């Protein structure tokens, strides 16, 4: 009896592990297909940071652990886990190319420096670089991994659905269309699909997301920041593995810390 119970328990754990892997493989390395809502960067715990200021007020040792050099590249240099498949020369080359990916990836926010109380206006988040096939962008109140809140909490009102323009220059509606229209599609976080960069040839995907925003009625200085979530390894053939069920995956896998979080600098729009 107890033997049968142990067998059932083992089978259940195995099935749970398979389900978890499936959700992971199709979820984060391929974007967030099931989250059509205001998301902030704290959710991307498997991603790495490129500047310590993104974890200001966090203990220095803890912040250093989140840096890409320590959280991601160090594992490659050591030949840890899947990276053991590569020769030392290949690992050196991979690290070099990953730094190229980071140097050519980022987000810029176009916005008016001043608006009138209650005025409706547009801001544009322009994205460049990073590995696909999906990247994500959102609006927040500060450039911080763990303390950022959605821009709406700073007093901004998002009007209507954001306009998502993919790398081919065409509008994208499928991802946002998964959110029921009756729930409102005026959200600050979106996925951009069809994304493909190649660090070996220097081909970098670009796209943009246009938000329509209503300013607060009360005059003052209000913060607005864009953040960019992207992958790195799938922009390099050396660190891309083809999975028969899930397609291209990063060599380091879901737990490989190959994703990145980048912010625009702290920015303020004056309502006057």
Which two structure tokens, joined as six digits, stand for 226? Answer: 């864009």
Which of the four pLDDT bands, split at 50, 70 and 90, describes residue 217? very high
Mean pLDDT of the 123-139 span:
96
Residue 17 vs residue 78, higher pLDDT: 78
Q: Does residue 20 surpass a pLDDT of 90?
A: no
105 SS3 class: coil
H/E stretch holding 98: helix 88-103
User: 2-271: what CATH class?
Assistant: mainly beta
Helix (H, G, I), strand (E, B) or coil at 53: helix
Residue ranges per domain, the chain?
2-271
Burial of 268 (0-12, 13-18, 19+ CB in 10 A): middle
Q: What's the pLDDT at 45?
A: 83
Structure confidence at residue 243 as a pLDDT band (50, 70, 90): confident
pLDDT at 9: 37
Q: What is the pLDDT of residues 25-73, one digit of tens each?
A: 334 667 888 889 999 988 888 899 999 999 999 999 999 999 999 999 9
Query: Per DSSP, which regions of the chain are E strands?
Result: 47-49, 106-110, 114-115, 120-128, 131-140, 157-158, 163-165, 171-172, 189-193, 206-214, 220-223, 225-231, 240-243, 247-250, 259-263, 268-271
Range scoring the smallest mean pLDDT among 4-8, 26-30, 129-133, 152-156 = 4-8
pLDDT of residue 13 exceeding 50, the answer is no
For range 139-152, the mean pLDDT:
96
Placement of tokens 């992971």 in the chain: 24
Q: Which residue has the higher pLDDT, 37 or 16?
A: 37
What average pLDDT score do residues 258-263 get?
96
pLDDT of the residue at 62: 92
Contacts of 244 (CB under 8 A, 6+ apart): none
Span of 130-134, 206-210, 218-222 with lowest mean pLDDT = 130-134
Look at residue 68 in the predicted model and tell me its pLDDT: 97
**pLDDT of 6 strictly over 80:** no
pLDDT at 42: 87
pLDDT digits (tens, 9 = 90+) for 69-125: 999 999 999 999 999 999 999 999 999 999 999 999 999 999 999 999 999 999 999
Give per-residue pLDDT as tens, 96-105: 999 999 999 9
Overall average pLDDT of the 199-205 stretch: 97
């Amino acid at each position: 009896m107890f033997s049968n119970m142990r067998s059932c328990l083992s089978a259940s754990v195995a099935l749970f592990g398979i389900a978890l892997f499936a959700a992971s493989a199709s979820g984060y390395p391929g974007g967030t297909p099931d989250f059509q809502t205001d998301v902030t960067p704290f959710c991307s715990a498997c991603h790495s940071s490129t500047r310590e200021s993104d974890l200001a007020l966090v203990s220095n040792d803890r912040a250093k652990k989140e840096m890409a050099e320590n959280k991601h590249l160090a594992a490659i240099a050591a030949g840890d886990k899947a990276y053991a498949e590569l020769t030392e020369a290949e690992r050196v080359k991979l690290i070099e190319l990953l730094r190229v990916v980071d140097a050519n990836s980022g987000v810029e926010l176009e916005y008016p420096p001043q608006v009138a109380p209650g005025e409706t206006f547009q801001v544009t988040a322009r994205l460049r670089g990073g590995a696909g096939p999906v990247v994500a962008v959102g609006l927040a109140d500060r450039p911080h991994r763990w303390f950022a809140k959605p821009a709406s909490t700073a007093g901004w009102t998002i009007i209507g659905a954001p306009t998502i323009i993919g790398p081919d220059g065409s509008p994208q509606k499928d991802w946002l269309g998964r959110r029921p229209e009756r729930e409102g599609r005026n959200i600050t976080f979106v996925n951009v699909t069809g994304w493909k960069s190649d660090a070996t040839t220097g081909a970098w995907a670009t796209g943009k997301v246009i938000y329509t925003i209503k300013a607060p009625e009360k005059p003052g200085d209000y913060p607005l920041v864009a953040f960019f979530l992207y992958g790195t390894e799938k922009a390099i053939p050396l660190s891309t593995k083809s999975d028969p069920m899930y397609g291209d995956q990063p060599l380091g896998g879901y737990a490989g810390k190959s994703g990145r979080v980048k912010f625009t600098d702290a920015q303020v729009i004056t309502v006057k």
